Amino acid sequence: MLANDKAVNQGVAPVTYGDGARPPRGDYAAARADYTCDQHWERYTPQEHALYQRLYERQAAQLKGLACDEFIAAVEHLGTPQEIPRFDALSERLQRATGWEVVAVPGLIPEEAFFGLLAERRFPVTGWIRSPEEFDYVVEPDVFHDLFGHVPLLFNPVFADYMQAYGAGGLKASRLQSCEYLARLYWYTVEFGLIATPDGLRAYGAGILSSTGELRHSVLSPAPQRIGFDVERIMRTQYRIDSFQSTYFVINGFEQLFEATAPDFTPLYERVALQGELSADARLVSDRVF
Ligand code: HBI
Ligand code: FE
């Protein structure tokens, strides 16, 4: 029996967010080679469950008229707001609805690993929850952002198919060194996307839906610009990770998202590279402004 036959801890390199100046949060040493880890639900304290409940109830109270109907209809699938959901029970419900499951990760993971999980219909959810001091804002995605922001729409079949197609496209992009373009597409749709409805614009992006201030700002404030969804325009547009967005992109339905991932992105990446990038608040005459 070789010494290394015992379960050697895979321990994977931590990933930091933004400019990388922040130390990584989360126990990456406990993660497996695919960056997944165990949720250890029994380790959450009563204070952490209470913090989750307060975050949940504050957001749930302001969804009407701001969040899209599909999200409002699906958020109850998270189960009781009185405690942080058990990922295994949540995955059973999710699996039956769209074939997705929720897997625990220590925090942000490299793009290749991230795309790989999405391509397998496995959504990575950070295990830890923010500190009470970060109640209003946490830089890195925590369990509340990932569960409340991202998981409900994974119960929507069309959106769930988009997420899987996005992951598969991402795996190809990483070979084309075009992760930045795909990261922008993710940012301006999955994280900060708006959708047009007969009653007006509504939020479907997880970064908006899990943020106490940005939910109103993104739908109601006159400050940001809101322009029609255009993949090439999005892939050219930089984004800011630590302030409200100055530009939001508007889709007319989740089918539009899914269709956008149908073509091979290679020629698109070449056109985007030729046209050069745009600042987050750039305005083009070709923009369809809402
Ligand atoms: N890792 N855990 C986690 N969650 C994310 O949302 C995430 C990530 N790594 C990379 C990433 N998102 C973005 O860069 C995507 O655009 C790829
Ligand atoms: Fe997110």
Can you list the domains of the chain with their CATH numbers?
2-275 (1.10.800.10)
Question: What's the CA gap between 142 and 90, in Å, rounded?
Answer: 17
Residue with tokens 């029609």: 228
- pLDDT of 4 > 50? The answer is no
71: number of Cβ within 10 Å: 24
Q: Ligand 1: which residue has its CA nearest to atom 7? A: 108
Q: Are strands 247-251 and 194-197 parallel, antiparallel or unpaired?
A: parallel
Query: One-letter amino acid identity for 279?
Result: S
Beta-bridged to residue 125, according to DSSP, are: 104
Q: Which atom of ligand 1 is nearest to the CA of 183?
A: 16
Q: Report which secondary-structure segment, H or E, holds 58.
A: helix 46-60
Q: Ligand 1: which residue has its CA nearest to atom 16? A: 183
Confidence of residue 2 (pLDDT cuts 50, 70, 90): very low
Minimum mean pLDDT range among 6-10, 145-149, 193-197: 6-10
Could you tell me the distance, in angstroms and rounded to a whole number, from the CA of residue 166 to the centre of ligand 2?
14
- Point out the residues that are catalytic: 145, 150, 191, 210
Q: What is the pLDDT of residues 72-90, one digit of tens each?
A: 999 999 999 999 999 999 9
Could you tell me the distance, in angstroms and rounded to a whole number, from the CA of residue 111 to the centre of ligand 1?
6
Structure-block tokens of residue 178: 């075009």
Could you tell me the distance, in angstroms and rounded to a whole number, from the CA of residue 268 to the centre of ligand 2?
24
Query: One-letter amino acid identity for 26?
Result: G
Structure-block tokens of residue 123: 């959504």
Give the chain's mean pLDDT.
92
253: number of Cβ within 10 Å: 14
Structure-block tokens of residue 103: 């897997």
Q: What is the pLDDT of residues 91-135, one digit of tens each?
A: 999 999 999 999 999 999 998 899 999 999 999 999 999 999 999
Could you tell me the distance, in angstroms and rounded to a whole number, from the CA of residue 142 to the centre of ligand 1?
12
Nearest to 101 by CA among 90, 114, 116: 90
Best residue for ligand 1 mutational test, from 108, 184, 235 (most atoms within 8 Å of Cβ): 108
DSSP conformation class of 103? E
Question: What's the CA gap between 163 and 150, in Å, rounded?
Answer: 10
Nearest ligand, measured from the Cα of 105 = 1
- pLDDT of 9 > 60? The answer is no
Query: What's the whole-number mean pLDDT along residues 124-148?
Result: 96
> What's the Rg (C-alpha) of the chain?
19
- pLDDT of 10 > 80? The answer is no
pTM score above 0.85: yes
Structure-block tokens of residue 272: 């985007």
Structure-block tokens of residue 199: 């009653």
Which residues does a 6 A CB cutoff place in the pocket of ligand 1? 105, 108-109, 111, 114, 124, 126, 141, 183, 186
Collapsing DSSP to helix, strand or coil, 68 comes out as: coil
Question: What's the CA gap between 253 and 158, in Å, rounded?
Answer: 10
Q: Ligand 1: which residue has its CA nearest to atom 1? A: 108
- pLDDT of 142 > 80? The answer is yes
What pLDDT, on the 0 to 100 scale, is given for residue 80? 97
Query: One-letter amino acid identity for 177?
Result: Q
Task: Characterize 184-212 residue by residue with b for buried, 16 or more Cβ atoms within 10 angstroms of its Cβ, and e for exposed.
Answer: bbbbbbbbbbbbbeeeebbbbbbbbbbbe
Question: What's the CA gap between 46 and 156, in Å, rounded?
Answer: 31
